[in-house]
């Protein structure tokens, strides 16, 4: 079926006829004049119809549906949990980061009758968004990774970020579901007040407890709870992934998966798509974490990189997007944070850094920075590449491969 979705710059109704000609059984449209025959189904609103169909499909299942949201780490957490759960259950999960008003219903509609578990990732950049997603995803379980400074432009304030993410807890509270909660983040305890069923994880005062054993490059975690003792050597770069790993341990254990299977699954998980990737390029060691960035994740990544014993540390930092009225101040604060550490070199990329007090080399675009790097390729260095997706920091990695 072809759904003729609309956006600010496109109208799917224009392509309904071609969809039928290309083999679609039906085309769902919301403009009558595009109907040619009975294969064209006219509805009032195509998007609403897609979501209602997803709800109808969702209601056919009585299995656990785990919804995951948060400012940072939700996709990595989702992938880790999926890797663990599929060791024992037929599990369906959001593909990539299809976590919006289109991606979530499409994810739901891909779940087949043999499903035993489902994981739904929910992204949001304004209030009432997650509330709406819950109405057709109907989660039975929920996990909020954290609430940091992300999408300030849409939410307007940190308080609204917590309200927006907390809409997932609100649904679980009303439906008497279960939450998996990071006990190290005290604000999540406040947000979860009134929810009876809470499974906690973290570094202390939780049902599932762990600690960071080593953070040379790859994160190593010790699971310390009774009958869950294990040392897990991950392929994730950065100790900020500790709560993501602990979430996977907690979810897996809650659903009866043994620690040996959990350990095997987590250790075999290799991140991709510019998320906490460790790359060796010639004589350089590179941490590529450039899928997304906000003030919280930036500080975590930089602090972690500074704490490792990797040699000759270099920062290539791209601008943070969707900062709204806080854009200049947040980027100035980031520069000040970077200056508290010693670096071999620092490159800043993005017009958002222009006009700020800084001592580092600045490039307006990642293309400009890449051209510079091709003529100034570092050797025997450790490099952290971090920035928002819109900063296109992966071009700097590509520049390392081109020698002039």
Nearest C-alpha neighbor of 135 from the set 77, 46, 56: 56
Which residue ranges of the chain lie beneath pLDDT 50?
A: 404
H or E element: which one contains 315? strand 313-318
- Would you state the pLDDT for residue 150? 65
- Number of Cβ atoms within 10 Å of the Cβ of 299: 17
Q: Locate tokens 């499974």: which residue? A: 199
Both tokens assigned to 199: 């499974």
- Would you state the pLDDT for residue 12? 97
128 Rama sector, left if φ>0, alpha if ψ -120 to 50, beta otherwise: left
Tell me the three state secondary structure of residue 230: strand
Cβ–Cβ under 8 Å, residues 183 and 202: yes
Domains of the chain are 2-44 (no CATH), 50-268 (3.40.1190.10), 277-400 (3.90.190.20)
H or E element: which one contains 172? helix 158-175
Helices 158-175, 129-137: axis angle to 10 degrees equals 20
- Would you state the pLDDT for residue 234? 95
- Would you state the pLDDT for residue 393? 93
- Would you state the pLDDT for residue 148? 78
- Would you state the pLDDT for residue 404? 42
- Would you state the pLDDT for residue 384? 96
Nearest C-alpha neighbor of 347 from the set 386, 403, 297: 386
Q: Give the number of C-alpha atoms closer than 13 A to the C-alpha of residue 289, restricted to the C-beta side.
A: 29
Burial code of 191-214, b = ≥16 C-beta within 10 A, e = fewer? Answer: bbeebeebbbbbbeebbbbbeeee
State if pTM tops 0.85.
yes
Rounded CA-CA distance 153/130 in Å is: 17
The residues near 290 (Cβ < 8 Å, ≥ 6 apart) are 274, 318, 385, 386, 387, 388, 389, 391, 393, 394
Q: In what order do the strands lie in the sheet with 230-237?
A: 91-93, 117-121, 65-69, 141-144, 178-182, 197-202, 208-215, 218-223, 230-237
Both tokens assigned to 277: 């990737």
No. of helices (H) and no. of strands (E), the chain: 14, 18
DSSP 353: G
For 11, counting Cβ atoms within 10 Å of its Cβ (0-12 exposed, 13-18 middle, 19+ buried), the class is middle
- Would you state the pLDDT for residue 403? 54
Alpha helices by DSSP H, 176-326: 186-191, 242-254, 259-268, 295-307
Rounded CA-CA distance 230/336 in Å is: 39
CA distances from 43 to 8, 50, 116, 122, 123 (A): 20, 10, 33, 26, 27
């Amino acid at each position: 079926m072809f759904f003729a979705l609309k956006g600010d710059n496109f109208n799917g109704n224009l392509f309904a006829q071609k969809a039928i000609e290309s083999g679609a059984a039906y085309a769902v449209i919301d403009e009558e004049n595009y109907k040619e025959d009975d294969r064209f189904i006219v509805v009032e609103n195509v998007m609403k119809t897609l979501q209602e169909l997803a709800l109808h499909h969702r209601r056919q299942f009585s299995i656990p549906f785990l919804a995951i949201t948060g400012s940072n780490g939700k996709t990595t957490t989702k992938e880790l949990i999926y890797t663990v759960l599929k060791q024992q259950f037929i599990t369906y999960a959001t593909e990539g980061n299809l976590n919006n008003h289109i991606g979530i219903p499409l994810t739901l509609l891909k779940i087949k009758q043999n499903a035993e578990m489902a994981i739904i990732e929910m992204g949001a950049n304004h209030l009432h968004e997650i509330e709406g997603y819950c109405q057709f995803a109907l989660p039975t379980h929920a996990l909020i990774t954290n609430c940091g400074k992300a999408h300030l432009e849409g939410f307007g304030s940190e308080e609204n970020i917590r309200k927006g993410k907390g809409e997932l807890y609100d649904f679980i509270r009303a439906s008497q579901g279960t939450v998996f909660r990071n006990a190290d983040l005290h604000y999540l305890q406040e947000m979860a007040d009134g929810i009876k069923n809470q499974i906690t994880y973290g570094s202390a005062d939780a049902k599932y407890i762990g600690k960071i054993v080593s953070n040379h490059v790859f994160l190593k975690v010790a699971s310390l709870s009774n009958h869950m003792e294990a040392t897990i050597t991950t392929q994730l770069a950065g100790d900020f992934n500790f709560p993501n790993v602990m979430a996977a341990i907690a979810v897996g254990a809650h659903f009866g998966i043994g620690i040996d299977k959990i350990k095997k699954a987590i250790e075999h998980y290799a991140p991709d798509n510019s998320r906490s990737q460790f790359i060796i390029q010639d004589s350089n060691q590179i941490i590529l974490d450039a899928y997304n960035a906000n003030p919280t994740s930036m500080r975590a990544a930089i602090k972690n990189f500074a704490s490792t014993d990797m040699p000759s540390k270099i920062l290539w930092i791209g601008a943070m997007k969707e900062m709204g009225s806080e854009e200049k101040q947040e980027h100035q604060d980031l520069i000040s944070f970077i200056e508290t550490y010693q670096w071999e070199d620092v490159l800043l990329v993005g017009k958002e850094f222009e006009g700020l007090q800084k001592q580092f080399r600045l490039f307006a675009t990642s293309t400009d920075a890449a051209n510079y790097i091709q003529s100034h390729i570092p050797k025997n260095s450790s490099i952290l590449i971090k920035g928002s997706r819109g900063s296109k920091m992966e071009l700097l990695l590509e520049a390392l491969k081109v020698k002039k």
